[in-house]
Chain A
Amino acid sequence: MPQHDVLIIGAGLAGQRAALAAADAGATVAIMSKVHPVRSHSVAAAGGINAAINPADDWRSHAFDTVKGSDFLGDQDAIEVMCREAPHEILHLEHIGVTFHRNEKGELDLRAFGGASMKRTAYVADITGQAILHVLYEQLMKYHETVARYEEWFTTSLIQDDDGTCVGCVARDIRTGVMETFTAKNVILASGGAGQCYKPTTNGLIVTGDGIAQAYRIGAPLMDMEMVQYHPTTLVENGFLITEGARGEGAHLLNAHGERFMEKTAPNKMELASRDVVSRAEQIEINEGRGVGPGGAGIALDVTVVPKKRVHEALREIVNIGKDFAGVDITAEPIIIRPGQHYIMGGVKTDIDGATPIEGLYAAGEVACVSVHGGNRLGANSLLDTLIFGRRSGEHAAARAAGMSMPTLSDEQMHADAAWIDEIIGRGRGGRRISEIKEELGTTMNQYCAVFRDAEGLDKAHEVVRRLKEEARTAYIDDRGTVFNQDVLGAIELGYMLDCAESIVVAAIERKESRGAQYRTDFPERNDEQWLKHIDIKVNGDDTPKVTYSPVTITQWQPEERKY
């Protein structure tokens, strides 16, 4: 039975950063991922990473922009930590080899991003996430003797001892189908978001909310789950992302009349207002018949106003995406986009060290909710979040491990999970196909729990999710094998997605106001008096979520009206 001081589940940016930090702190470390680490969805992050690194900038300005972007739902103590530590973290990345682009003086170059009061986004062309992820993996290869890697291992459950402390997990070796109990003094969840609850989404097929659901199932509270970000520029074609870097470099958004409609909602920041603001403005244009493209369902993103040379060196990836996936040369003509599901602000509730209310369990990255993003995440703040809180949880977990002995575990949970998997594989063909349920879930969430919401639609969504949960119990699969049985993992992931979707819908029903990404047409105003608080969702013995509240931490910035 493998035993480690710190076991990290997930090898995206948050997980890899946590592993390196824990190893540097002297702990014995293992990192586990259901895909090879460089396939983790962090690889898709294009635009960049924020830090007040320019001497003329100040971390407080970054922090205020973040607080304002969050629509004052972010916890200001956590935001202060993130923004204060950001420049140091970027320099650390630079030192271990990230090839950040430079200005003519050879210093880090910075680009403009949405919701920011100055240029503070460091970048590597438009492959920033890939560049950082691959460089962290370079370090993991360097640390190959001190960090054990379980690549293509799928975590099925977290394990608690009698006191409720988290002491390990059960996982399946995808290559062989072997199940194993992993003992750990600390577990760090870094298993990413839950974008696949939606269709379309900018998120990869592996982003299925596994960690959020696994933590929820052992009683950890989920926070801010109603806050689901719709990114303003996703391809109408297939939901792929066009990075905010495009607008950062100066691209315009145009309606059917060729107007820069952002003038109406954000006369100062225009296209670079917060994402929730821009997405809503676009949706209004579309809903009121000023959309472009087939069915008027899109908005034109005009990149031709950006100098060609700049496009080629800094936005190459979206030139390719336009060419390969929409048949459009973005340097010559506008491309049609619309708001699309992109990011889950909510997640497993943690403190500023990544610790969840469950002893021994940490969470970092998109799976977690510290909360630094509150009601709306600023572009290029997520990579920062993964790294800062990945590192902090790695360090904190290593320190906790130093003072304790290795727990002893039985294989009980492992046997239970093995039986669960056998049961799924053995199901007769009476029920629905997994793929049908997933499809219905995604389209339902995108219809009723999107940019604009109301009680009626949310109730409908809740009903559908409850029904799908029922149907998932008997849904069948085709693959009966053990080697790379992706089919059975898909069935397990569907269960995780349904848990996440339910908590999203329940929280959205609960919040009877409009704040950040949550816009209720039946409650169109922000209501600080009643709703300046987090919604926490916990599992209730009988599989129905229980709602409680927790306060928002305010340090320096009192809520005010949000104008861009």
Chain B
Amino acid sequence: MAEVHKEPQEFTLRIRRYDPESGEPAYWDEHTVELEPHRSVLEGILQARARFDGSIGIRCSCRAAICGSCGVRINGQPGLACHTHLDKAVASSRDGVIEVEPMGNMPVLKDLIVDMDQVHWKKVQRVTPWLVNKQPIPEREYIVPAYNMVDVTQSMACIQCGACVSDCLSMEVDPLFIGPAALAKAYRFVGDPRDAQQFERLKDLAEDPHGIYDCTHCFKCIEACPKGVAPMNQIMRLRRMAGDVHGINDRNNGHRHEIVFAHLIRDHGLLWEAELLPRSYGGDSFFGKFHPAAGAELVSSLPAITKALVRGKVTPMGALKPHKLPKQDLGQIHSIYDKVEGREEPYELNLYVTGYDEDESGAEGMPSAETGTPGMEPEESPSR
């Protein structure tokens, strides 16, 4: 049995303070606390509050990563204060002092408290966050596959802490982006066989310019999430269901863009920027760029393209000529495609099914689901 009792040590916390009534800007405030190293940053803050300054503002209740109150940024990384050990926080600090700041992408109300209503909850309300029942409602329970209920449990496990919202790159650029947590919530209904509006929901989220195709696949939300919800993966599931299962050809061109992206890589091994945009809009072939829709999009994208050219992100030669990979490398890429595309049904990694977070690997004895899609080895994960 692990002996976890360790001696208390000193830890210094540098807390971002902001008092809206003072008229002063935010400032840093340092306190040294004494606790065992495996205690949480929240316990550190609470000790500082109890001993030195009762006015430090932070929302908290459960202390056990379940109520979702204590989302903050620790040394710049979003997470729960109660879910981060003091020793680990020191290890990730710049100078041995643990820096605690309010979450990003949301206005600060006081100290570590942000306005989640204005951002997070508004976005949740946007995805019609309630079950629209399939009719008729049965007298007893709906009979549904055991697998599906375990599957949606991953997005049900979201505690609405906002850590993913805090650092979502797309939301920084487009504040209207529905965002990782709300889209994970959307999957909870789309993946629920009792919901009558799977198609309508997917159509809505695909057509919304701030919807599922607005995510840039940056992985930040997966890293931030303390509950293994993996919002980006839920978004990818939504995309796959919208595009592949329901054939929704959204006006944002998101689905076609994905297909072209995949095909270009299959054929050339690397991305061919000059073809990506026109083919996504005009059709997935070399002639796509001659389609009127592609022309229109190309014109409207000219400023962006020019910018990319000016900044040297795209060189005229590189963009116009297809990139080439050595033949044997391309062969390897083809075999990956064959394997993935040859599957009977898409494999989905769900930690409630596999028992392992998607960022963990090397687990032995992967269990598989009783019914439905079988579990798979983590290294075969399509998303990593």
Which residues of A approach B to under 8 Å, CB–CB? 35-36, 38-41, 43-44, 91, 94-97, 99-109, 124-125, 127, 130-131, 134-135, 138-139, 141-142, 144, 151, 175, 204-207, 237-238, 240, 292-294, 300, 308-309, 311-313, 316-317, 320-321, 324-328, 333-336, 433-436, 439, 477-487, 490
A240, A317, A483: which contacts B109 (Cβ < 8 A)? A483
CB B85 to nearest CB in A, in angstroms, measures 8
* Contacting pair A317 B66 (CB below 8 A): yes
Out of A95, A127, A308, name the residue touching B367 (CB < 8 Å).
Answer: A308
Task: Indicate whether B2 reaches chain A with its CB closer than 8 angstroms.
Answer: yes
Report which residue of A103, A106, A328, A478 has the largest number of chain B beta carbons within 10 angstroms of its beta carbon.
Answer: A106
Nearest Cβ distance between residue B15 and chain A, in whole angstroms?
A: 14
Other-chain residue from B19, B131, B153, B188 in contact with A125 (beta carbon distance below 8 A): B153
Q: How far is the CA of A240 from the CA of B9 in the complex (A)?
A: 22
A104 to B143, CA, bound (A): 10
CB of A297, distance to nearest CB on chain B (Å): 10
Who on chain A is nearest to B18 by CB? A483
**How far is A124 from B158 in the complex, measured between Cα atoms in Å?**
13
**Assuming A105-B143, A107-B141, is B54 touching A41 (CB within 8 A)?**
no
B354 interfacial contact with A, CB 8 Å: yes
Complex Cα–Cα for A276 and B209 (A)? 57
Q: Which residues of B have CB within 8 Å of A207?
A: 61
CB distance from A203 to the nearest CB of B (A): 9
Query: Is A240 in contact with B153, judged by CB distance below 8 angstroms?
Result: no
A434 to B192 CA separation, bound complex (whole angstroms): 47
B355 touches A308 (CB 8 A): yes
Q: How far, in angstroms, from A311 to B365 measured CA to CA in the complex?
A: 13
Bin chain B's interface residue count: 35 or more
Identify B67's interface contact among A94, A131, A142, A204, CB under 8 A. A204
Q: Which of B67, B109, B130, B194 has the most chain A CB atoms closer than 10 A to its own CB?
A: B67
Contact B137 A205 (CB under 8 A): no
In the complex, A127→B149 CA distance in Å? Answer: 13
List the A residue with the shortest CB-CB distance to B67. A39
Subset of 19 A-B contacts with CB under 8 Å: A38-B68, A94-B141, A102-B144, A105-B143, A125-B352, A127-B156, A130-B66, A134-B156, A142-B129, A300-B1, A312-B355, A316-B355, A317-B66, A324-B83, A327-B2, A328-B2, A433-B51, A478-B55, A484-B113
Check B1–A328 contact: CB distance below 8 A: yes
Q: Which residues of B contact A316 (CB under 8 A)?
A: 351-352, 355
CB of A293 within 8 A of CB of B1, answer: yes
Chain B residue at smallest Cβ distance from A300: B1
Question: Is B66's CB under 8 angstroms from A312's CB?
Answer: no
C-alpha spacing A127/B65, complex, angstroms: 12
Which B residues lie within 8 Å of A238 (CB)? 39, 63
Q: Is the interface of B mostly helix, strand, loop or mixed?
A: loop
Is the C-beta of B60 less than 8 angstroms from some C-beta in chain A? yes
Query: Which chain B residue lies CB-closest to A325?
Result: B64
CB contacts under 8 Å to A, within B45-72, are 49-51, 53-55, 57, 59-69
Assess whether A205 is in contact with B63, with CB atoms less than 8 Å apart: yes
**What is B's interface to A at a CB cutoff of 8 Å?**
1-5, 19-21, 38-39, 49-51, 53-55, 57, 59-69, 83, 109-111, 113, 116-117, 124-125, 129-131, 133, 137, 140-146, 149-150, 152-153, 156-157, 159-160, 188, 192, 194, 351-356, 365, 367, 370-371
Is A127 a contact of B153 with CB atoms below 8 Å?
yes
The 3 closest A-B pairs by CB, nearest first: A312-B355, A309-B367, A97-B131
Interface contact B133-A95, CB-CB below 8 Å: yes
Known contacts A125-B153, A127-B153, A484-B110: does B141 contact A490 (CB below 8 Å)?
no
C-alpha gap A108/B113 in the complex (Å): 40
**CB < 8 Å neighbour of A43 from B63, B159, B353:** B159
Bound CA–CA A327/B150 (angstroms): 26
Contact B160 A38 (CB under 8 A): yes
Q: Cβ of B141 and Cβ of A91 under 8 Å apart? A: yes
Give, as a whole number of angstroms, the nearest-CB distance from B8 to chain A: 14
List chain A residues, Cβ under 8 A from B59.
35, 39
Q: Are A44 and B67 in contact (CB under 8 A)?
A: yes
Q: How far is the CA of A433 from the CA of B353 in the complex (A)?
A: 49
Quick one: which of A91, A142, A205, A300 contacts B60, CB cutoff 8 A?
A205
> In the complex, given contacts A44-B64, A292-B1, what are 6 additional A-B residue pairs having Cβ atoms less than 8 angstroms apart?
A43-B67, A44-B66, A102-B146, A127-B66, A328-B2, A481-B19
User: In the complex the two chains form, what is the Cα distance from A336 to B2 in whole Å?
Assistant: 9
B178: min CB distance to chain A, Å: 15
Instruction: Identify the closest chain B residue to A134 (Cβ).
Output: B156
Judge whether A327 and B192 touch: CB under 8 Å: no
Instruction: Decide if A333 touches B66 in the complex (CB within 8 Å).
Output: no
Tell me the smallest distance from the CB of A522 to a CB of chain B, in Å: 34
Judging by beta carbons under 8 Å apart, are B20 and A483 in contact? yes
A204 in contact with B2 given A99-B156, A102-B149, A478-B55 (CB within 8 Å)? no
CB <8 Å contact, A138 and B355? no
B192 touches A97 (CB 8 A): yes
* Shortest Cβ distance from B160 into A: residue: A38
A141-B141 contact given A101-B149, A127-B156, CB 8 Å threshold: no
With both beta carbons as reference points, the residue of chain B lying nearest to A438 in the complex is identified as B50
Which of B57, B83, B130 is packed against the most chain A CB atoms within 10 Å?
A: B130
| A141→B125 contact, CB < 8 A | yes
Known contacts A99-B149, A105-B143: A39-B61 contact under CB 8 Å: yes
Looking at the complex, which one of A96, A108, A127, A434 makes contact with B54 (CB distance below 8 Å)?
A: A434
Instruction: Report which of A43, A96, A107, A139 forms a contact with B66, defined as CB distance below 8 A.
Output: A43
* Pairwise interchain contact B355-A313, C-beta atoms closer than 8 A: yes
Residue in contact with A313 in the complex, picked from B145, B152, B192, B352, CB distance below 8 Å: B352
B359–chain A nearest beta-carbon distance, Å? 14
